[in-house]
Amino acid sequence: MLDFCLQPFSNAGMVSEEADNNKKQPEEPAPGQTMAGSDGVPMLEVRQIVKSFGPLKANDNVSLSVGSGEIHSLLGENGAGKSTLVKMLYGSLQPDTGEILWQGKPVNITSPSMARQTGIGMVFQHFSLFDSLSVADNILLSLEESFATSDVADKARQLSIDYGLPLNPHSIVGDLSVGERQRVEIVRCLLQNPDLIILDEPTSVLTPQEAENLFETLERLRSEGRSILYISHRLEEVKRMCDRATILRHGKVVGECDPAQETAESLASLMVGTNVNKANRRAAGEIGDPLLEITGANLPAGSPFAIALKNVNLTVRGGEVVGIAGVAGNGQSEFFRLVSGEDVIANADAINIRGTACGSSGINERRSLGAAFVPEERLGHGAIPDLSLSENLLLSRHGSDSAAFLRMGKLGLIRTEITLDATARICEKMDVRKTGEDPDASSLSGGNLQKFIMGRELDRQPSLLIVNQPTWGVDAGAAARIRQAMMDLAQSGCAVLVISQDLDEIFEISDRITVMHDGELSEPIPIEDATYEKIGLLMGGANPGHVLPEVEEHHHDDTTSGGAE
């Protein structure tokens, strides 16, 4: 009552609160102090959380706080415990000990539904979407029961327009591009009107330009007073976007900082614990003969949501690394199947390996020509989880090395001792950490298994290596080793073709860069001429120099107005 007299402007404040009762005003943090909400309490506070899985402490005494209107970054390597923490915040997991405070009050978040009711929204890295359902149904599924079914579509459409994330609520999610799927995730999250939004590696699937749009959306959300917990390992964007950062390593908080004050290098060394060296760029070596030539290859789409490859042309010469950039789902896996021979085509001449036409030959024939392949999925494609390493060795090499590994011809007996020896040799060379002599592939960590798979192919001393997503989900140490191995291989005269979503990686190791978009491959650009912007535009589908957007627009008008033929 007294306060009322003392605050002449309280009325105005109340009005704005009435109008926007869930949107808090941003507040500048006092220097050196924790960012706090309007009443001095952080939006979310995590105190000394511990979560163990058997002997492994995934989260060891983790504390962190996120203020209102703050973009807070959670930094850490693969396996540092970020996703465990996030799952506890979103109610998918329960902490063993420790507490979570929401706007100052302890809460026990027992389910994702409760997290949503509390005001926590989540945008998943691996989208939690349903391919066969419409956008509206996908959104409806994450809303509480009370939400009126009928107007989900309208509200979603309105919201998506408001935030500049256009969506058609009636399209089927399986038909959408990766960027559009992320929009569905974001719109779905925003419809719950959350106070805290958790984004898990949101830009890893976007073009630089799409990422830019996302940043604008995030800044707008921040200005509405919402808090954002931003999980990423891309240091540049963290530096640019985030107000504060908490760094996790091996399940523990190892530091908290203002990213703007740090350098990418200092953040990286905090994350990894040691200094990670970038791969040594070799002196431009001798560029040799073409070892892989693809001319006018086509591959029709094999399944409902697959991409057809159209008129693919590419030459890779000995001694060079060619990088294929692109947003996931633009035909990279189809391309891998095409060059590897997992899918054969009738036109043998479309693919040449070391001068031999092999478009119609299978994968083992191509291996015999000197090619080696590393697919994207480790478990279930490049290796079989329930088989031992030595059996997984045989998986890709029974054909090309049949003389070494088999007795009595091709249908013959497996020489177990020799496969075991080779396995030991590869593990030694690539520093694969494992328990036991010949464990199941599933018992290895992602990084160690990838080193093994890579080592399996390098052990053959191939003259052409084709790798899809070489370091996806791999820790920084293993990733550095794998990149170095690929560059060394090129140095020794081998042709290396790398397909990767990670633009930094592409720029780090490639001599020439090409972009895959909607099943088409762009003209390769030498690394000297390549910029993130140029490559980003190509990833988004622009094709400068070929068709101008205006021309395309005009053409579109023509067809809609009845097609003047």
Partner 1 sequence: MMDMWQNIILTIATAATPLLIAALGELVVERSGVLNLGVEGMMIMGAVTGFAVALATGNPWLGMIGAIIIGSLFSLLFGFLVLSIATNQVATGLSLTLLGIGLSGMIGEEFVGEPGVKLSNIEIPGLVDIPLVGRLLFGQDPIFYISIALVFGVMWFLFKTRTGLTLRSVGDNHDSAHALGIPVLRYRYFAVMFGGACAGLAGAHLTLVYTPQWIENMTSGRGWIALALVVFASWRPLRLLAGAYLFGAVSIGQLHAQALGLGIPSQFLSSLPYLATIVVLVIISTNRRLTLMNTPACLGKPFVPAR
Partner 2 sequence: MIRVELVKRPQHSNFYMLMSPFIAFGLTLVFGALIFLALGKNPFTGLYFYFIDPLSQVWSLHELAIKAGPLIMIAAGLCVCYRSNNWNIGAEGQFIVGAIFGSMIPILMPGFQTVLTLPLMLIMAMVGGAIYAGIPALLKARYNANEILTSLMLVYVAQLLLDWLVRGVWRDPQGFAFPGSVRFPPAATLPEMIPSQGDAHYGFLLALVAAIAVWFFLAKTLKGFEVSVLGLSPRAGKFAGFSASAMVFFSFMLSGALAGLAGISEVSGAIGQLREVISPGYGFAAIIVAFLGRLNPLGTIAAGLLLALTYLGGEAAQISLGISDKVVRVFQGMLLFFVLGCDTLVHYKIRIVSRTAEGSAT
31-39, 95-103, 138-146, 204-212 -> range binding partner 1 (CB under 8 A) = 138-146
Q: Are 400 and 367 in contact (CB under 8 A)?
A: yes
Q: Is 412 in the site for partner 2 (CB under 8 A)?
A: yes
CA distance 509 to 501: 13
Q: Does 396 bind partner 2 (CB under 8 A)?
A: yes
**Site track for partner 1 across 277-316, x = CB under 8 A:** --------------------------xx------------
- For partner 1 (CB under 8 A), the number of binding residues is 26
Asked whether position 363 contacts partner 2 by CB under 8 A, the answer is yes
Residue 418, classified by CB atoms within 10 Å of its CB into exposed (0-12), middle (13-18) or buried (19+), is middle
Q: Binding of partner 1 at residue 129 (CB under 8 A)?
A: yes
Which of 142, 333, 388, 419 is in the footprint of partner 1 by CB under 8 A? 142
- Check: CB of residue 517 under 8 Å from CB of residue 330: yes
354 Cβ contact partners less than 8 Å away, ≥ 6 residues apart: 291, 369, 370, 463, 464
141 binds partner 1 (CB under 8 A): yes
Residue 132 contact, options partner 2, partner 1, none, Cβ 5-8 Å cut-off depending on partner type: partner 1
The per-residue DSSP string of 333-353 comes to HHHHHHHHTSS--S-GGGEEE
Residue 380 binds partner 2 (CB under 8 A): yes
* Residue 398 touches partner 2, criterion: CB under 8 A: yes
Distance, CA of 167 to CA of 175 (rounded, Å): 12
The runs of H, that is alpha helices, within 343-475 are 363-368, 389-397, 402-405, 416-430, 446-458
The residue among 173 and 324 lying less far from partner 1, judged by its C-beta, is 173
Q: How far is the CB of 252 from partner 2 (least distance, A)?
A: 23
Given a contact cutoff of 8 angstroms between Cβ atoms, the answer to whether 237 and 215 are in contact is: yes
Q: What is the H or E stretch that residue 67 is in?
A: none
DSSP state of 250: T
**Contact between residue 515 and residue 323 where contact means Cβ atoms under 8 Å apart:** no
Residues 536-555, interacting with partner 2 (CB under 8 A) = none
- What is the closest distance, in whole angstroms, from the C-beta atom of residue 454 to partner 2 in the complex? 15
Closest CA to 140 of 177, 166, 130: 130
> Under rule CB under 8 A, which residues in 167-186 are in contact with partner 2?
none
Residue 440 touches partner 2, criterion: CB under 8 A: yes
State the binding partner of 412 from partner 2, partner 1, none, CB within 5 to 8 A by kind.
partner 2
Task: Report 43-62 residues binding partner 1 (CB under 8 A).
Answer: 53
Q: Is 164 in the site for partner 1 (CB under 8 A)?
A: no
SS3 254: strand
Helices (H), 294-415: 332-340, 363-368, 389-397, 402-405
Cα–Cα distance between 451 and 442 in angstroms, integer?
14
Q: Which of partner 1, partner 2, none does 130 bind, CB closer than 5 to 8 A by kind?
A: partner 1
Only segment of 67-75, 151-159, 318-326, 398-406 that touches partner 2 (CB under 8 A): 398-406
- DSSP of 499-555: E-S-HHHHHHH-SEEEEEETTEEPPPEETTT--HHHHHHHHTT-BTTTB-HHHHHHH
Residues between 333 and 362 with contacts to partner 2, criterion CB under 8 A? 340-342, 362
Residue given tokens 């979570």 in the structure block: 100
CB of 517 to partner 1, least distance (A): 24
Residue number with CB closer to partner 1 (148 or 346): 148
Examine residue 442 and tell whether it contacts partner 1 (CB under 8 A): no
398 vs 534, beta carbon nearer partner 2: 398
Residues 57-96, mask of contacts with partner 1 (x by CB under 8 A): ----------------------------------xxx---
Cβ nearer to partner 2, comparing 188 with 366: 366
Nearer to partner 1, 59 or 390 (CB): 59
Q: Is 132 in the site for partner 1 (CB under 8 A)?
A: yes
Nearest distance in Å: CB 528, partner 2: 35
**Beta carbons of 405 and 418 less than 8 angstroms apart:** yes
Contact window for partner 1 (CB under 8 A) among 34-42, 140-148, 328-336, 417-425: 140-148
Q: Is residue 292 a contact partner of residue 314, using CB atoms and an 8 Å limit?
A: yes
Q: CA-based Rg of the chain, rounded to a whole angstrom?
A: 26
Measured from the CB atom, is 142 or 419 closer to partner 1?
Answer: 142
Residue 135 CB, shortest distance to partner 1, in Å, is 13
Contact 174, 132 (CB under 8 A): yes
The 98-117 contact track toward partner 1, x by CB under 8 A, reads -------------xxx-xx-
Query: Does 149 sit near partner 1 (CB under 8 A)?
Result: yes
Long-range contacts of 533-537 (CB under 8 A, 24+ apart): 533/208, 535/208, 535/325, 535/503, 535/506, 536/207, 536/208, 536/209, 536/503, 537/207, 537/209
Distance, in Å, from the CA atom of 160 to the CA atom of 217, rounded to the nearest integer, reads 11
Which of 19, 303, 403, 410 contacts partner 2 by CB under 8 A? Answer: 410
Core vs surface per residue 300-310: b (16+ CB within 10 A) or e: eeeeeebbebe
Candidate residues 102, 127, 230, 336; the one interacting with partner 1 per rule CB under 8 A: 127
What is the maximum alpha-carbon separation in the chain?
A: 99
With respect to partner 2, which residue has the nearer C-beta, 134 or 368?
368
**Of the candidates 50, 133, 257, 395, which one interacts with partner 1 according to CB under 8 A?**
133
Question: For residues 252 and 381, which CB has a smaller minimum distance to partner 2 in the complex?
Answer: 381
Which residues make up the interface to partner 1 (CB under 8 A)? Answer: 53, 91-93, 111-113, 115-116, 124, 126-133, 137, 140-142, 145, 149, 303-304
